[in-house]
Structure 1
Amino acid sequence: MWLEILLASVVGFVIYWFVSRDKEETLPFEEGWWGPGARPTAPEDESIHPFKVETSDEEINDLHRRIEKVRLTPPLEDSRFHYGFNSNYLKKILSYWQTEFDWRKQVEVLNRYPHFKTKIEGLNIHFIHVKPPQLPAGRTPKPLLMVHGWPGSFYEFYNIIPLLTDPKTHGLSDEHVFEVICPSIPGYGFSEASSKKGLNSVATARIFYKLMLRLGFQEFYTQGGDWGSLICTNMAQLVPSHVKGLHLNMAFVLRNFYPLTLFLGPRFRKLFGYTERDMELMYPLKKIFFSLIRESGYMHIQSTKPDTVGCALNDSPVGLAAYILEKFSTWTNAEFRDLEDGGLERKFSLDDLLTIIMIYWTTGTITSSQRFYKENMGHHFMADKHHQMKVHVPMGFAAFPCELLHVPEKWVRFKYPKLISYSYMARGGHFAAFEEPKLLAQDICKFVGLVEQQ
């Protein structure tokens, strides 16, 4: 008993000491060149060009030939998704992919919003830019940069965009109307991959900041989950005066002392600021620990040898689908691993899921997307300066209950001292914008309202 009190006191003192050191600092704004060869001496072409997603009979026929030649291993009896993607259910997906999925129709869906490309630091950066179809008199839209993660894409935001750009038509308040910019991370989908080592989240944040300036935005809001949360955080650390507000549905806050309190949390909940809801989402600790171990094998591979597994995934659409869709199962809800179909169609349509797969397949970017793990985690993970720095812009956080790791408000506030909105979301997991667009849109609007009241 006394030992626990002593430990709690020491941890509490250390936390207080670190929290009190609230020095505001920014990341150095460096320059990069990620294109092939040496950087040209001529100034970079800053023009923005319209872009359209296209396909061809050859592309579709090649896909179908590869699917027809699939060689699957039968699953173990009663294994469900415990060993990874169940190949019996995969057969159903492959049948749908070949006979019912219409890639040409999905290309039209992708082209529903305006696409563009522009050259930044030697790379062709792809983005969609959606403006409101109508605005209340005397109003201007609020620019919002939304950044995806892995294994997602800009397509994750297709259902939330109309809620943000045309809220009244979709039954929401039009107090806040946005124009939304969704770029593809370099090496993902239609954004060109780096030819050089080192393109990490900070470099990506700088590239996206330059994109926003090129579009004429000196101040803007940002939103992200997964890698998008880190990229948007880095942008706030690079250019805090340009980021009006930062809204996240995932936060990298492990470099503080709060995680140490997990072991004492059940006995000293109030001392560490944990709510009853926090306790429900974090305990029993053994369950969370084993869940993280079970779901993180891909991370070790991609942080060390991404190109090896990339060779297989870039050559096989079936392997690519199994590898990616397994994440859309267990990261949406860990309990889905107990189902024969992984619960995939409980939250998503096969058309939407296969569209994400096709973006990776047709662009051949699975390997380059996985390299982002190597660049961010394969060297001195958590030792980079940005992990040690706090973020001093207004911040809002949406805590979805089925996220891979629940982050209590106290943890978030340590990294983001200007946290003004923390919401326990009613439902949803890792792919928040894709899975629960209305809930996320409402929380973004709530946060922006609080920012503008300050």
Structure 2
Amino acid sequence: GLNIHFLHVKPQKVPSGVQVVPLLLLHGWPGSVREFYEIIPILTTPQKGRSVVFEVVAPSLPGYGFSDGASKQGLGTAEMAQIFNKLMQRIGFKRYYVQGGDWGSIIGSDISVLFPDHVIGFHSNMCFVNSLMSNLKLFLGSLAPIIINASQLEIETNYPLSAKFSFIILETGYMHLQSSKPDTVGVALRDSPVGLAAYIIEKFTTWTNPAWKDLDDGGLTKKFTLDKLLDNVMIYWVTSSITTSMRLYSENFNKARRDSGIDSLPVLVPSGCSRFRYELAFLPRFVLKDKYQKLLTLTGHEDGGHFAAFELPEVLAKDVFDFVEEERKSVQIKQEL
């Protein structure tokens, strides 16, 4: 088995009438549990007018930070979904909510598909669909946006498709490298702290606001502090986990994953999506609803990027609270009927 590191934070002084509910909080690459240091206190503190507060479990993904990496091939997001479901069971949570971005979104989707009886609801700040039908819908939307009833923000973040695809090609070079040769680039990054910092921190510029890449300092201190960014880098450096973290790409972008068919399966548990303007994927409702078939909440924010929990913790926390309140309300209505 693998040793899995996780943060477990319980709320203190819970008022009468407020229910404590478990939340599995999942990060991605090149992030870590450090992304959650600002949002966890909000989620675990009773909020005025809220009927719930969260008991948060935030694990380091296998191969990331202080969690063990796999000793053999075959540990992709579906396998991580099994690990984290088992983790929640062992802690004592038979049913729980899931929230995630980046890889955390993919793992959260896999958990919801594989273990729907255990997942009360799934919320993500990177809801993603990549199917023939979803891409066809996006194309049709470019021909006649009015017939798809897209919001202005949905139109601005997806069209023209030529600009969107150019941006994706420009920003996914790392993905092709890590999907095909993670160990090769890992040797270089593991040997140079400056190289590792440059490789990781660059993402906090272009994925937070692509316009910042033209600034001398990359705009890094507009939303973060250098200490916080280096905290995240140091988690990779002191654990020598950059190579094992990048292997997740090669474990997921392969024939075995495609043949499993899990990406084509809908998420049937209640779901909520937070979309931030500069996120790599800001998909319209008419695309998302095919995958997330019980989409209870869908927000679009004029600001924010890929690292929402790190960048705008108050905004994301509000969306998570709103989603859980909406899910509980929908259950209550069904029971009354």
Take 2:281 and 2:19, find their aligned partners in 1: how far apart are those partners?
A: 37
Distance 1:429 1:167, change over 3 A: farther
Structure 1: gaps (5+ residues) = 1-121
The answer as to 2:330 corresponding to 1:451 is: no
Equivalents in 2 of 1:446, 1:279: separation in Å? 25
Matches within 5 A, 1:112-191: 122-168=1-47, 173-191=49-67
1:86-111 alpha-carbon deviations (Å, 9 max, x no partner): xxxxxxxxxxxxxxxxxxxxxxxxxx
Distance 2:71 2:257 in 1: 22
| Matched residue type, 1:269 | P
Deviations 1:396-432 (A, max 9, x none): 0001111012111111110011111111123110001
Q: Alpha-carbon deviations, 1:278-306, whole Å to 9, x = none?
A: 11111222221111011000000000010
Match of 2:217 among 319, 327, 341: 341
Q: Is the 8 A contact 1:255 1:382 kept in 2?
A: no
- Structure with the bigger percentage of helix: 2
Instruction: Give the conservation status (yes or no) of the 8 Å contact 2:19–2:52.
Output: no
Question: Separation in 2 of the partners of 1:294 and 1:126?
Answer: 34
Deviations 1:52-82 (A, max 9, x none): xxxxxxxxxxxxxxxxxxxxxxxxxxxxxxx
Q: Of 250, 253, 259, which aligns to 1:374?
A: 250
How far apart, CA to CA, are the structure 2 residues paired with 1:379 and 1:306? 17
* 1:23-76 residue CA offsets vs partner (Å, 9 max, x unmatched): xxxxxxxxxxxxxxxxxxxxxxxxxxxxxxxxxxxxxxxxxxxxxxxxxxxxxx
- CA separation of 1:256 and 1:136: change in aligned 2, threshold 3 A: farther
Q: Distance in 2 between matches of 1:264 and 1:222?
A: 32
C-alpha distance in 2 between matches for 1:442 and 1:251:
17
Preserved contact between residue 18 and residue 51 of structure 2 (Cα < 8 Å): no
Equivalent residue letter for 2:90: R
**In structure 2, distance between residues paired with 1:127 and 1:448:** 22
Give the match for residue 81 of structure 2: 205
Within the candidate set 117, 126, 143, 1:241 is matched to: 117
Q: CA deviation at 1:448?
A: 0.5
Partner of 2:302: 426
Which of 429-438 and 266-275 deviates more? 266-275
CA distance in 2, matches of 1:386, 1:320: 33
Q: Do structure 1's residue 354 and structure 2's residue 194 form an aligned pair? A: no
Distance in 2 between residues matched to 1:379 and 1:353, nearest whole Å: 35
Higher mean C-alpha deviation, range 352-361 or range 253-262: 253-262
Q: Distance in 1 between matches of 2:187 and 2:153?
A: 43
SS of 1:374's equivalent? helix
**Is 1:435 the counterpart of 2:311 in the alignment?**
yes
| Paired amino acid for 1:178 | F
> What is the match of residue 260 of structure 2?
384
Q: Which residue of 2 aligns with 1:276?
A: 152
Offset, 1:251: 2.3
- In structure 2, distance between residues paired with 1:409 and 1:288: 17
- Structure 2 counterpart of 1:213, one-letter code: Q
Structure 2 SS opposite 1:180: strand
Secondary structure, aligned partner of 2:305:
coil
| Alignment RMSD (CA, Å) | 1.4
Classify 1:389/1:263 alpha carbon distance in 2 versus 1 (closer, same or farther; 3 Å): closer
Distance in structure 2 (CA, Å) of the matches to 1:269 and 1:345: 37
Q: Is the 8 A contact 1:269 1:275 kept in 2?
A: no
Q: Normalising by the residue count of structure 2, what TM-score does the alignment of the two structures yield?
A: 0.95
Q: Which runs of 4+ in 1 moved over 6 A?
A: none
Which aligned pairs between 1:39-54 and structure 2 lie closer than 5 A? none
- 1:395 partnered with 2:274: no
Which is further off, 124-133 or 418-427? 418-427
Q: Which amino acid aligns with 1:368?
A: T
In structure 2, the partner of 1:49 is none
Q: Deviations over 1:192-211 (max 9, x none)?
A: 00001010000001000000
Q: Secondary structure at the match of 1:361?
A: helix
For residues 114 and 220 of structure 2, the distance between their equivalents in structure 1, rounded to whole angstroms, comes to 38
- The equivalent position to 2:138 in structure 1, one of 225, 239, 262, is 262
Task: Write the letter of the residue equivalent to 2:37.
Answer: Y
Is 1:317 matched up with 2:173? no
AA in 2 matched with 1:153: S
Deviation at 1:383, TM superposition (A): 4.2
User: What is the aligned counterpart of 1:226 among 102, 106, 116?
Assistant: 102
User: Counterparts in 2 of 1:293-332, with a 5 A limit?
Assistant: 293-332=169-208
Give TM-score scaled by structure 1 length: 0.71
Letter in 1 for 2:27: H
Q: Identity across aligned pairs (percent)?
A: 51
Mapping 1:92-107, distance limit 5 Å:
none
Distance 1:276 1:140, change over 3 A: closer
Superposed displacement of residue 275, structure 1: 2.4
Q: Determine if contact 1:154/1:183 at 8 Å carries over to the other structure.
A: yes
Shift of residue 380, structure 1, vs aligned partner: 5.2
Equivalenced residues, count = 330
| Contact 2:277–2:300 (8 Å) recurs in 1 | yes
Counterpart secondary structure, 1:124? coil
